[in-house]
Amino acid sequence: MANDKLRVFGKYFPVFLNYGFSLLVQRIQALIHRYTWKNLPSSQNVVVIGGSFAGITLIRRLAESLPSGYKVVLIEKNSHFNYTFNFLRYSVVKDVAIGVREGDVVELASGRKIPFAYLAIATGVTQSPPAKLLAREKADACAELRALQTRIQDASQIAIVGASAVGMQIASDIKSFYPEKSVLLIHSRQQLMSSFGVRLHECVFEKLQTMGIDII
């Protein structure tokens, strides 16, 4: 076990060191940018459609690095984010992009048209609830989650298709809160977390079985 830890440390320490150095450089550049960037009357838009994790990360880096003469506009159809991010020098338009027109213009459902110098589309992935909710308004999303909670509370037997990290999390959460319920996890491959090694599969498989989760 000690040798394994040393091998992992030796393999990943240079990666973490390089990442830490890059992060330090980014923070210094962002600090300089804060005091040198100017919002000019003729500033052009850099439009990002979609506040997914990728979109938010892109917005943050752009807001810390764009030269004077450019500003960031985020277009997001939902009324809320799953996490709160607040960054300077970008505006949020709660609207739905319905098309990109000639002349480098994003057309919104409200009728508003936003010109852009650059356009990024970061609308996220399509997932089934509860991994990603269907509602666009926060109150409706909360109601959707409560409805899913009620369905789980009322069910005595629950089957989950797909033993990804999300699938295993849902299965283990259900079994932790409701140990009396029958929870079945169905996976199409011979190994859980198939992108990783066999040892992780064996560890997770054993823990799920110890919890009383059936696995096919």
Which tokens belong to 46?
């850099």
The predicted-structure confidence for 81-109, as pLDDT tens digits, reads as follows 654 334 333 445 578 889 998 889 999 99
Domain that holds residue 211: 155-215
pLDDT of residue 11: 82
Q: Which helix (H) or strand (E) holds 46?
A: strand 44-49
Within a 10 A sphere around the Cβ of 108, how many other Cβ atoms? 18
pLDDT of residue 82: 55
Half-sphere exposure in the Cβ direction for 116 (13 Å, CA): 21
Residue where a domain stops, chosen among 124, 146, 171: 124
| Cβ–Cβ under 8 Å, residues 66 and 51 | no
What CATH number has the domain bearing residue 90? 3.50.50.60
The predicted-structure confidence for 36-80, as pLDDT tens digits, reads as follows 998 888 899 999 998 888 888 999 999 999 999 999 999 988 776
Pair 187, 114 in one domain: no
Q: Which of 192, 189, 190 is nearest to 171 (CA)?
A: 192
Domain total in the chain: 2
Asked if the structure places residue 45 within a domain, the reply is: yes
Pair 120, 159 in one domain: no
For residues 216 and 210, what is the distance between their CA atoms, to the nearest angstrom? 15
pLDDT of residue 87: 37
